[in-house]
Structure 1
C-alpha cells in the first residue's frame, strides 16, 4: 500500500493521511483528495511534481488529469508509483474550480495483509471549509470513499457484457416447469440471499392466463411498486411508468421487439409455439423499460435458479401458507444455491406521510390570501406522458411528467408544464403553487386525483385551498388530446 500525506497549503496545516493500493492511478488520487477533504462537488485536480526520486525537479513536471479526456497520459504515467518512488517525493495538487492548493507527499510503502487493498483515510485534522484545525470524523470520510468505490465497481460491472445465454437457458428450464400452475400471482415468494444481505420478492404471472412469467422486486427499493399492485384498487392509468421491477416474460413471437429476437438468435436459440419466446425487462420509475444490465442479469440468474427449486418443492407437496397482509414465506439461500430454511417475513409498512415542501413566506401567503375568492373550479393532476425522450444524464429514455391545470366544465387549459423527471410530492406541490400564484383570483375548489390528493394536502392546508377527490373528466379529455400530439409540439 502507498501511504500519502496530503496537506492544504493554507494555514493552519489541515491534512489527511491516505492508504492506496500500489496499482492506484491518478484518477483515484484525484477522487480521494476531493472526498477526504469534503470537496467531492468539485470537478478535478491537476498535479505538478516538485520532488521526484528524492530530488527537487528542475522542470516541474505537470500531470494534467482530465477525467473526460485523459489522452495526455499513457498507462505508465497514470500510475502513482511511477512518480512517487521515494519517501519525501512531493507534488502540488490544484483543485481546478476552487484553486485550492495541496501538498501531496509520499510517506512510505506499507506492507499490509493481502485482503487490505482498499483505499482508506487513516488520519487527519481540520476542516477545509472553515479553516479550523479541529478533529475530523475518519469513519465518515471512509464511508464516502467506500460509497464512491462501490459506485466505481457498479459502473464497471454495468459496462460488462451480460451472460444472456445462461439466463435464457435457465428461463427456458423454468418455463418447462410451468410455475404458474402451482403459484398464484398474489402468492409472493421472498428469496433471502443471506450472505449478500439481499432479499427479493417474486410474483409468478400466468395462473389466470394472459401474461406468463416472473416479476422480481428488490425488497429495499421496489416494495412500494409491488404493494400497489397487491393492495390498491383502481391504479392510475400511468402506473406502469412508475414501476420498479425486473420481469421475465414468456410471449408470442410477434410480441418480441427486434432486439429481443436478435438476442435469442445470437445465442443460437429458438423456440416454437405460443407463449414460448423469452423476453427480459428492467423497469425503473419514470423511464422506458430496457433490457437488464450485467448486475440485473446476474440477479435474474440467481432468482430463476431458486424459483426452479421452489417450483420443484411446490410440486412435491409444499403448500403456500396462510399469511396476513404484508407477510410472505421466505426461502433462505446458501452460497451454493441450496435452500437452507423457510420462515415468514412480516414487513412493517406505514402509511406515507407528506409535508409542505414549498418554502412559502408569510409575505407570499398574505399576498395569495389578498386575492379575491371566486367561484372558479379547477382540475389539477400530474401524470406521465406515454412516450420517452432522450436525456444526456441517462442511457434510458425518460417519460416526461405533465402538470396540468384545467378549468372544470369548459376544459380550458390554464397551464401545463412538461418536466423530464420522476413524479414526486415536491414536484406536485411546486407546479400547483406556481399556477396558483399566477392566477388573479383564488379558486373555490380544486379537483384532484386520488393519487395526488395526499401529496397536495399539506400545501392546501397552508393556503386554505379546498381539495376534492375526483375522476377529473376535463383533464381526461385534454390528456387524450395531448397524448396524440407529437412531442416536439410541447
Structure 2
C-alpha cells in the first residue's frame, strides 16, 4: 500500500468522537485525523466509518466553535450560497475550502454531520483533543467503535425497532473500519516522521512547561540570575527571569527586545513599580496556578492537548504584556518565543546544577547570553558573558514631527505667559474593549495642568499611537493654542522631554525635566477615582 509521508510538524492530529443519534442504541466512532483535512475529505472518512454508500446529500452544521455557539452555520458541497447573509440568513461555506482546524479548537466544540435529508442520519461530531502524530502511524484512523450503523434507507425500520445494530466486539469493528479506510481512501492516508519541529508550537510549549514545573528551578535560580537568549529568527534578545524565589508566583518571565530590557531594569531597580511602568512592559509570562484559578481559556487550551496536569500550583497560564495593552493570552508567535525561553531556561538550570555560575545582573553588571549557531543542520546555543552597558540602549531617535505650517504659526510673536504648567501623556488605568473577545487597551490621556492653582487647562483622550513623538509634539502645540500663548515654564518627565526635544529647540521653550509631576499625578488620581464604579 502506498501512502504519503508528512513531517510531524506540518499539522496536529485532531481526535473526535462521532455519535450517530436517534438510532435506539449507542453507535459511535473515535476518529483521529490530520487537522488540515477539508470537510469534504472528512465527509468521505465518515462515509467509510459508518458504512454509508454516499447515495444521498449531506451537510455539516457548526453548533459550537472556539467555545462559542455557532448558530448552525452550514458547510456543504451540494451548493454554496454567498448571498445567504444578504437574504437574512447565514451564508454557507464550501466544504472543499474549509479545514477542520479552523472550526475545532476547544474541547467540546461540535459540528453536526447530516447524511440523507430524507432519513436524516444525524452524526454529532465532538472535538476531544489535539495530539502529536505518532511515528509510523497512518492517519486517519479509527481508535474505538461501538455497534454498527443502519443500512441505507432504513429510518422507518430503525424507528420501529426492527433493526439490530448491536455488535459486541468493538475492537474488531475499529479494525474493520481502518481496513476500509485503507482500501477506499488510500490517497488520503499519511504517516509521519519526526524530523521537523512543529508549526503548532503549543504542544511543545505545554510539554516544556510541565518539564519546567517538575524541575522547580526557582529553588536554585533566583531574581538576580537573569540571563538572555538570542532569538535565531529576529536576532532580538529575550531576557529570562525564573519566578518563585519569593514563594508567591512560580513560573518564567521573558522580556522581549530592547523595550523588554528597559522594563526589566525598571522592575529590578524600583521597589514598587507604578502603573505607568507596568503598562509599558513588553514581556510574556508563564505562571503556575491552581486548577480553580485558571481562566476558562487557559483550561480549554490545556485540555486541547494530550498533556496531563494535576496538583496545586501546577497548571500553566500564559500571558502577553505589550505597552498600552491589557494583559492578554499569548498568540502563536509569542508561543514560539516562550518555547525558546523555556528550552534555554531548562538548559541553564542543568548547567547551574553542574557548576555553572551565573553573573548577578545588577551587582556584576554583566549577563550570560545564549547565542545560536548552526550545527549539523540544527541550531545549538553557546554561552557568552556580556557587559550590560553594551546592550543598554537609549530611547529611539526623534525628529521634528509637526507640520511646517503649524511650526510657522507658533514661531510668530507669541505672548509669554507668566505661568508654569506640567505637561504629560500617560496611560489611563481604565481598559477599553471595543469588541467582545478583542484585546482591551489603555487609552492615553494628554494633560496640561497649571501648577500654582492645580487646574487642568487642557486634556485629550487618545488611543495608542505608533508615532509617540508626532502625537506629543502636536498635542503640546494644541495646549499653546488653548492658552493663547506660550507658558514661561513647562515641566515634563524624562520620556516626554525626549520626544519633545526637536520642538523645544525650534521654539526655544523653557522646559524643566522632573522625575515626578506631582500636580498631574494628583489630577489623574482624582480623575481615576471619579471613573471608578460605585
Whether the TM-score (by the shorter chain) exceeds 0.5 is yes
Question: Hey, what does 2:461 align to over in structure 1?
Answer: 418
Cα separation, 2, equivalents of 1:250 and 1:333:
32
Classify 1:366/1:189 alpha carbon distance in 2 versus 1 (closer, same or farther; 3 Å): closer
Larger Rg: 1 or 2? 2
Question: Hey, what does 1:170 align to over in structure 2?
Answer: 208
Question: Hey, what does 2:521 align to over in structure 1?
Answer: 476
Classify 1:178/1:331 alpha carbon distance in 2 versus 1 (closer, same or farther; 3 Å): farther
Classify 1:293/1:194 alpha carbon distance in 2 versus 1 (closer, same or farther; 3 Å): closer
* Alignment size in residue pairs: 337
1:292 CA drift (Å): 1.2
Question: Hey, what does 1:354 align to over in structure 2?
Answer: 398
Could you tell me whether the CA contact under 8 Å between 2:285 and 2:318 is conserved in 1? yes
1:102-146 alpha-carbon deviations (Å, 9 max, x no partner) = xxxxxxxxxxxxxxxxxxxxxxxxxxxxxxxxxxxxxxxxxxxxx
Given the alignment of the two structures, is residue 330 of structure 1 paired with residue 373 of structure 2, yes or no? no
Classify 1:385/1:337 alpha carbon distance in 2 versus 1 (closer, same or farther; 3 Å): farther
Given the alignment of the two structures, is residue 386 of structure 1 paired with residue 399 of structure 2, yes or no? no
Picking from 336, 341, 344, the partner of 1:306 is: 344
1:340 CA drift (Å): 4.7
With normalisation by structure 2, the TM-score equals: 0.54
Could you tell me whether the CA contact under 8 Å between 2:227 and 2:240 is conserved in 1? yes
Cα separation, 2, equivalents of 1:463 and 1:195:
43
Cα separation, 1, equivalents of 2:270 and 2:394:
13
Could you tell me whether the CA contact under 8 Å between 1:191 and 1:333 is conserved in 2? no
Given the alignment of the two structures, is residue 428 of structure 1 paired with residue 487 of structure 2, yes or no? no
Provide the secondary structure at the position in 1 that maps to 2:358. Answer: coil
Picking from 440, 444, 447, the partner of 2:491 is: 447
Picking from 388, 400, 411, the partner of 1:366 is: 411
Could you tell me whether the CA contact under 8 Å between 1:199 and 1:219 is conserved in 2? yes
1:25-83 alpha-carbon deviations (Å, 9 max, x no partner) = xxxxxxxxxxxxxxxxxxxxxxxxxxxxxxxxxxxxxxxxxxxx9x9998999xxxxxx
Within a 5 Å distance, the mapping from 1:282-297 to structure 2 comes to 282-297=320-335
Provide the secondary structure at the position in 1 that maps to 2:446. Answer: strand
Provide the secondary structure at the position in 1 that maps to 2:401. Answer: coil
Cα separation, 2, equivalents of 1:455 and 1:439:
22
1:280 CA drift (Å): 0.6
Picking from 229, 235, 241, the partner of 1:191 is: 229
Picking from 473, 478, 481, the partner of 1:437 is: 481
Given the alignment of the two structures, is residue 202 of structure 1 paired with residue 202 of structure 2, yes or no? no
Picking from 253, 256, 280, the partner of 2:318 is: 280
Structure 1, unmatched stretches of 5+, are 1-68, 78-159
1:248 CA drift (Å): 0.9
1:211-261 alpha-carbon deviations (Å, 9 max, x no partner) = 332121334774443344456788553122222111111345665434334
With normalisation by structure 1, the TM-score equals: 0.58
Classify 1:73/1:195 alpha carbon distance in 2 versus 1 (closer, same or farther; 3 Å): closer
Cα separation, 2, equivalents of 1:167 and 1:348:
28
Structure 2, unmatched stretches of 5+, are 1-85, 98-197
Could you tell me whether the CA contact under 8 Å between 2:358 and 2:368 is conserved in 1? no
Provide the secondary structure at the position in 1 that maps to 2:505. Answer: helix
Cα separation, 1, equivalents of 2:438 and 2:372:
34
Given the alignment of the two structures, is residue 212 of structure 1 paired with residue 250 of structure 2, yes or no? yes
Classify 1:440/1:73 alpha carbon distance in 2 versus 1 (closer, same or farther; 3 Å): same
Classify 1:259/1:220 alpha carbon distance in 2 versus 1 (closer, same or farther; 3 Å): same
Cα separation, 1, equivalents of 2:474 and 2:366:
33
1:182 CA drift (Å): 2.6
Provide the secondary structure at the position in 2 that maps to 1:330. Answer: strand
Classify 1:219/1:473 alpha carbon distance in 2 versus 1 (closer, same or farther; 3 Å): closer
Cα separation, 1, equivalents of 2:257 and 2:394:
17
Picking from 263, 266, 280, the partner of 1:225 is: 263
Classify 1:408/1:327 alpha carbon distance in 2 versus 1 (closer, same or farther; 3 Å): same
1:418 CA drift (Å): 0.8
